[in-house]
Amino acid sequence: MKTNSTQVSYFTLSAYVDTGVFKYLYFLIVLTFYICIIGANVLLLVVICVNRSLHEPMYLFLCSLFVNELLGSTGLFPFLLVQILSDGHTVSTSSCFLQNFCLYSYGGVEFTNLAVMSYDRYLAICCPLQYNTQMSFDKITVLIAVSWICPLLLSLVMTSLSASLQLCGNIINKVYCDNYYIVKLACSDTTVNNIYGLIVSVFSIFCPLIIILFSYMRILKVCFSDCKQTRQKAVSTCTPHLASLLNFSFGGFFEILQSRFDMNSVPNMLRIFLSLYWLTCQPIFNPLLYGLNMSKIRIICRSLVFAKM
């Protein structure tokens, strides 16, 4: 049993390495990446909001997705920029728990949004005649609200439970604050945290996953039994969503793998890359993916760019 609990006022992030003068180069790279993410997501949000022709369910769900990318990026990148230039790599407990809340909320909202979008694609492909009546504005509002409120509440309770723990140390072997690593530092009983962690996993991972699997099983069934035109529609509308889903799942899988298993044999830089993948690649991947693949968005963006030239 762990003993000698202390009142922790700050955490030390031990995954950072001394890069010398190269830290300024890394700072510029991360800053440029962050600016690109903000610019791409804000651009598509503006394009969808100001064009009434894009006020359709699929694009409204995309708005929710892009807002969440901004949330996740803002919870990570300013923090990374400060830590890259810092020599001590410490963070106050309040800032650490705030980042913990933001990043877990981002992950929960992202996966729930992707589940809602898969349900929307299922209705559009499998029930095209009833789509407009089944996907009403009120239903869209409820789906978006649920996809945000549930993950936010789950993350808030999880962060509150972790903040109430007595800790035996303050060293987190990551480049950002992670709830799993904070709980591992606890001297007090973590039974409640562990049970709640399972509850969060069910609602944040398994419930959305069931919706996604159900939706795509029905879509595949229709594709194999229907005409070529239906299959082409399914491919064109589902490809961006599937690519986004696989990209996020890939990053999330490596994050869980690295947190739960001993990865000391893996080079440090690779571990850092894998731990950041799900937080950095998805926010830039989604706007590029949907902006390039959806003809309506692509045409409007092109007209806006050439109109200013």
Helix H or strand E encompassing 309: none
> For residue 308, what pLDDT is reported?
53
Task: Count other Cβ atoms within 10 Å, centred on residue 298.
Answer: 14
Q: Provide the residue ranges of all domains of the chain, joining segments of one domain with +.
A: 10-307
Amino acid at 305: V
pLDDT at residue 146 greater than cutoff 90: yes
Lowest mean per-residue pLDDT among 130-139, 153-162, 178-187, 291-300: 291-300
> Could you give the CA distance from residue 92 to residue 11 in angstroms, rounded to a whole number?
6
- Among residues 98, 83, 77, which one has the least CA distance to residue 14? 83
Rounded CA separation 61/117 (Å)? 7
Q: Check residue 53 and report its DSSP letter.
A: G
First to last CA, the chain: 67
Convert the pLDDT of each residue in 24-49 to its tens digit: 999 999 999 999 999 999 989 988 88
Q: Please give the radius of gyration of the chain, using alpha carbons only, rounded to the nearest integer.
A: 21
What is the SS3 assignment for 6? strand
pLDDT at residue number 149: 96
Q: Model's pTM, two decimal places? A: 0.90
* DSSP H helical ranges for the chain: 22-50, 57-85, 93-126, 131-134, 137-163, 179-184, 191-201, 207-225, 228-260, 268-293, 295-307
Question: Which top CATH class is 10-307?
Answer: mainly alpha
Question: What string of DSSP letters covers 176-238?
Answer: S--HHHHHHTB-S--HHHHHHHHHHHIIIIIHHHHHHHHHHHHHHHHHHHS-HHHHHHHHHHH
* Weakest-pLDDT range from 109-118, 161-170, 191-200, 229-238: 229-238
Cβ pair 165, 186 in contact under 8 A: yes
What amino acid occupies position 296?
Answer: K
